[in-house]
A = this chain, B = another copy of it.
Amino acid sequence: MSHIARLFVDEPLLRDQPLDLPDDQSKYLLRVMRLSAGAMIRAFNGADGEWRCELMVTGKRAALRPIEQTRQQSASPDLTLLFAPVKKARTDFIVEKAAELGARRICPVITEYTQTSRVRTDRMRSLAIEAAEQTERMDLPEIEEAAPLATVLSIWDPAKPLIYCDEGGDAAPIQTKVSALLGKPAGILTGPEGGFSPRERNMLRALEYVVPITLGPRILRAETAVVSALTLWQSLVGDWQNAPYLPES
């Protein structure tokens, strides 16, 4: 049931080139997992693939010695999540799920009805790393700094369709729109509780690259809309034709 521990490391992974682990990872391996010198660990850094490593211990400090590359590097599909932050626990959830569901970039977007004043990008990065470790993805999602909706749209590449989760009710159901986006990088935009303002809705609908969609007859909470929209995209035009990667126990 339990797999070999998997860590993201922010260092090059090269055969027999040991790398020191920071305090939090040392503590996790030695005190929480209670591993000792010689234990096997999996490590990835988003560039050099995944490596089976040997744990080395000096006092309270842990280090890894890469032994063998076990998986090649690969990138998640080119999907960007633009989301309006909501309350803390639900924002945490959005970031965790976007990382699990393979978003390549995660951008907090401030909209008119956004109630959250403080967006903790550092916290989002930690959550994304933890989810990436657990979900067996080979890259980390990039977490961008929060920016106002108008700014984000002004620099959006118009060649990329932006799937806009519109609670307005008169858009097409998402499952009828996504299949046409096969083979293209894309974005998904979700709003805060209360949705987008009339001004924002007009602005979005005037943009040619925006694909307004609905997510069924029930009103979904912000974080549910994120998971549903990411699921639909990944399953219909993303990488869900691939089988899950099963690490050895």
Contact = CB atoms under 8 A, between A and B. Distances in A.
Nearest to A93: B93
Contacts of A228: 101, 227, 231, 235
Contact of A214 (B1, B194, B243): B243
Interface string A21-56: 000000000000000000000000000000000000
Nearest to A230: B228
A238 B93 CA distance: 26
Interface stretch (A8-16, A116-124, A130-138): A130-138
A214 B244 CA distance: 7
Say what secondary structure dominates the interface of chain A: loop
Q: Which interface residue of A101, A174, A228, A245 has the most chain B CB atoms within 10 A? A: A228
A14 B224 CA distance: 34
Contacts of A156: none
A59 interface: no
A218 B173 contact: no
A136 to B, nearest CB: 5
> How many copies of this chain are found per oligomer?
2
Contacts of A168: 246
A169 B216 contact: no
Given A134-B221, A137-B218, A216-B234, A175 B240 contact: yes
A154 to B, nearest CB: 25
Given A1-B113, A231-B228, A232-B231, A100 B240 contact: no
A236 B236 CA distance: 11
Q: Which interface residue of A2, A173, A231, A242 has the most chain B CB atoms within 10 A? A: A231
Q: Which interface residue of A2, A97, A167, A219 has the most chain B CB atoms within 10 A? A: A219
Interface of A: 1-2, 93, 97, 100-102, 113, 134-137, 167-170, 173-176, 194, 214-221, 224, 227-228, 231-232, 234-236, 238-246
